[in-house]
Chain A
Amino acid sequence: MITAGVDCGARTIKVLILQDGKELAKSTVLTGFDQLAAVEQAFQSALQQANLAREQLRHITATGIGRKSVAFANSEITEVSADAKAAVFLFPNVRTVIDVGAEEGRAIRCEADGRVKDFAVNEKCAAGAGTFLETMARALEIKLDEMSALSLKSQKIIPMNAQCAVFAESEVVSLIHAGIAKEDIVRAVHEAMADRIAAMARRVGIEREVALLGGVGKDPGFVAAFKRELELDVLIPPEPEYVGALGAALVAAERNVGGS
């Protein structure tokens, strides 16, 4: 049985096509200002890669903040449920799932079957989301993907006082003016963000094992800071940004079995 998951996120749209638990194709398109066109583009691209026609998909499930706008989906599921579903599929022993996306952070505690026990979400404040790192990279005049290497080089912990991304931007500029090395500033940024994500995770309670999902999971500098902060190892899938779409595709398969 072939199904698809469409994760319509704030920054990117991810589509993943699944056949009996095996990934056939996936694609990412920037959400931009025309969300509908971006969803269609991502979907077509994944179909093409898998060499499939739309009719061959038995069930399509949408998730993500823009999931309501995926008109061709047969059903939808919240990001929280999709995350939990996919996390236990990838790592059966996971009981705590942390997802840090572009504009949202989530901490989820779940059962062995992926059912959600408790969760916390921050979608109000950029300080606990990927946007925070982007803003800081801009202030430091470096590329986002240069942050990790710099951060991992740093040997020094310097404190960051500001929580707010806007205030932190000014603080970063002052730190540059004060002659602090860029790598130490980047590390401070990672530590500050890890601290906030960990605080959110502690509110729902941390039970081992812990999985880290979402695009920020691809930043080893953040991951290192996060592990230090939690004093635990975290499991990260090779492509953490696709986990929401995977969860949706898995749910699509379940729903189709139950439905038709």
Chain B
Amino acid sequence: MSEQSVQLNTKREYWRWKEYNWRDASIDWKQAQIISCGIDVGSVSSQAVVFTDGKLFAYSSLRTGSNSPTSAQKALDWALQGTDLPRERIQYIVATGYGRVNIPFAHKAITEIACHARGANFIYGPSVRTVLDMGGQDCKAIRCDERGKVTNFLMNDKCAAGTGRGMEVMADLLQVPIEEVGPASLSVNEEPPPVSSTCVVFAKSEALGLLRQGWSKERVLAAFCQAMAHRTVELLSRIGVEKEFAITGGIAKNIGIVKRLENELKIKALEPKLDPQIAGALGAALFAKALYEKQLAS
């Protein structure tokens, strides 16, 4: 077998979402007084966000590797790529997320709960009172005040049901690219009953059984998204949902989950003005700016 045909036979990774970076080319960082940075090293994805005088300058998002410091470094390098901004010019870096304590070049580590609330406050505005962060390996329901300060929270980090990782597993099983899961799940004429298994491992067997019964992939995805939304609403209702309501994290980009959450909660989620997946790193960058200003003042 030639090398090329081996390549062609390699299994496609349906779960693999696109890594990306972005910069505001209109900003000249050389004019900036304060350059702050937030890095969110999550269990599945890592983001870096750079602010110049409180303005969003650049960001990146990529998959977390096996080593937290390397992932943080890569995320930052990629955010800075093509900006000429040397890392040494960044005055303050705050790390957050699952791997936050392990980042040698960060000045401080802050929990992702605080950072997501702060980031959501920036993305969605001060009217946000409930933030649902749907991450790669956990799901958090956060209540906050008008300054983005956390007043209460609940989280599931024990179980893949209701997390991005669970969604990746399902995308891979059904061979639907992860970005298309949401729209595909909404393409059914009638909403099927939700899958009955809580556990993602059991839901996989259940999904295979449904396919055997002649269900379409879209219908199975609808049943899975329905179950996931329901499970998330249970978490949310334990802490209580106060308006306005916003979703952050990777799953905020999955319209199939967002729509079903809105239907079950009977509350519309705020439209994000920025990428909701960078909320944690964004909050960290805002904290970094405030901490640097405090340091200057003292």
Chain A: residues with CB nearer than 8 A to chain B?
Answer: 33, 103, 124-127, 131-132, 135, 163-167, 170, 174, 177-178
Asked if B159 CB lies within 8 Å of chain A CBs, one says yes
CA distance A166 to B165 in the complex (A): 8
16 residue pairs from A and B, CB less than 8 Å apart: A124-B198, A125-B198, A125-B199, A126-B199, A135-B201, A164-B158, A164-B160, A165-B160, A166-B160, A166-B165, A166-B169, A166-B200, A166-B201, A167-B43, A177-B66, A178-B66
List, in ascending order, chain A residues with CB within 8 A of B43's CB: 167, 170
**Max chain A C-beta neighbours (<10 A), residue from B158, B159, B165:** B159
CA distance A183 to B96 in the complex (A): 34
A11 to chain B, nearest CB (A): 9
Q: From known contacts A33-B212, A124-B198, infer whether A163 and B66 are also in contact, taking CB-CB under 8 Å.
A: no
Q: Which of A103, A170, A174, A178 contacts B202 (CB 8 A)?
A: A103
List, in ascending order, chain A residues with CB within 8 A of B66's CB: 174, 177-178
Asked if B166 CB lies within 8 Å of chain A CBs, one says yes
Chain B: residues with CB nearer than 8 A to chain A?
Answer: 43, 66, 137, 158-160, 165-166, 169, 198-202, 209, 212
User: What 13 new A-B contacts, CB under 8 Å, besides A124-B198, A164-B200, A166-B200?
Assistant: A33-B209, A125-B159, A126-B199, A131-B201, A132-B201, A164-B160, A165-B200, A166-B201, A167-B43, A167-B137, A170-B137, A174-B66, A178-B66
A175 to chain B, nearest CB (A): 9
Q: Which of A33, A124, A177 contacts B199 (CB 8 A)?
A: A124
List, in ascending order, chain B residues with CB within 8 A of A170's CB: 43, 137, 165
List, in ascending order, chain A residues with CB within 8 A of B137's CB: 167, 170
Q: From known contacts A166-B166, A167-B137, infer whether A126 and B158 are also in contact, taking CB-CB under 8 Å.
A: no
List, in ascending order, chain A residues with CB within 8 A of B212's CB: 33
CA distance A165 to B169 in the complex (A): 12
A60 to chain B, nearest CB (A): 26
List, in ascending order, chain B residues with CB within 8 A of A174's CB: 66
**Max chain B C-beta neighbours (<10 A), residue from A167, A170, A177, A178:** A167
Q: Helix, strand, loop or mixed for chain A's interface? A: helix
List, in ascending order, chain B residues with CB within 8 A of A178's CB: 66
List, in ascending order, chain A residues with CB within 8 A of B199's CB: 124-127, 164-165
B11 to chain A, nearest CB (A): 14
CA distance A242 to B90 in the complex (A): 66
List, in ascending order, chain B residues with CB within 8 A of A126's CB: 199, 201-202
List, in ascending order, chain A residues with CB within 8 A of B201's CB: 126, 131-132, 135, 165-166
CA distance A166 to B198 in the complex (A): 12
List, in ascending order, chain B residues with CB within 8 A of A166's CB: 160, 165-166, 169, 200-201
Closest 4 CB pairs of A and B: A166-B160, A126-B201, A165-B201, A164-B160
CA distance A127 to B199 in the complex (A): 9
CA distance A124 to B202 in the complex (A): 8
List, in ascending order, chain B residues with CB within 8 A of A131's CB: 201-202
List, in ascending order, chain B residues with CB within 8 A of A165's CB: 160, 199-201
B163 to chain A, nearest CB (A): 8
List, in ascending order, chain A residues with CB within 8 A of B165's CB: 166-167, 170
CA distance A167 to B209 in the complex (A): 23
CA distance A178 to B67 in the complex (A): 9
B119 to chain A, nearest CB (A): 24
Q: Is the CB of A163 within 8 A of B200?
A: no
B200 to chain A, nearest CB (A): 5
B68 to chain A, nearest CB (A): 11
Q: Is the CB of B159 within 8 A of A164?
A: yes
**Max chain A C-beta neighbours (<10 A), residue from B43, B166, B200, B201:** B201
CA distance A177 to B66 in the complex (A): 8
List, in ascending order, chain B residues with CB within 8 A of A177's CB: 66
Q: Which residue of A lies closest to B165 (CB)?
A: A166
Q: Which residue of A lies closest to B160 (CB)?
A: A166
CA distance A174 to B200 in the complex (A): 20
List, in ascending order, chain B residues with CB within 8 A of A164's CB: 158-160, 199-200
A138 to chain B, nearest CB (A): 11
List, in ascending order, chain B residues with CB within 8 A of A33's CB: 209, 212
Q: Which residue of A lies closest to B169 (CB)?
A: A166
B250 to chain A, nearest CB (A): 15
Q: Which residue of B lies closest to A165 (CB)?
A: B201
CA distance A125 to B197 in the complex (A): 9
Q: Which residue of A lies closest to B212 (CB)?
A: A33
CA distance A84 to B212 in the complex (A): 35
Q: Is the CB of B202 within 8 A of A167?
A: no
CA distance A170 to B169 in the complex (A): 11
A144 to chain B, nearest CB (A): 15
A72 to chain B, nearest CB (A): 23
A226 to chain B, nearest CB (A): 21
Q: Which residue of A lies closest to B44 (CB)?
A: A170
CA distance A125 to B198 in the complex (A): 7
Q: Is the CB of A167 within 8 A of B160?
A: yes
List, in ascending order, chain A residues with CB within 8 A of B169's CB: 166
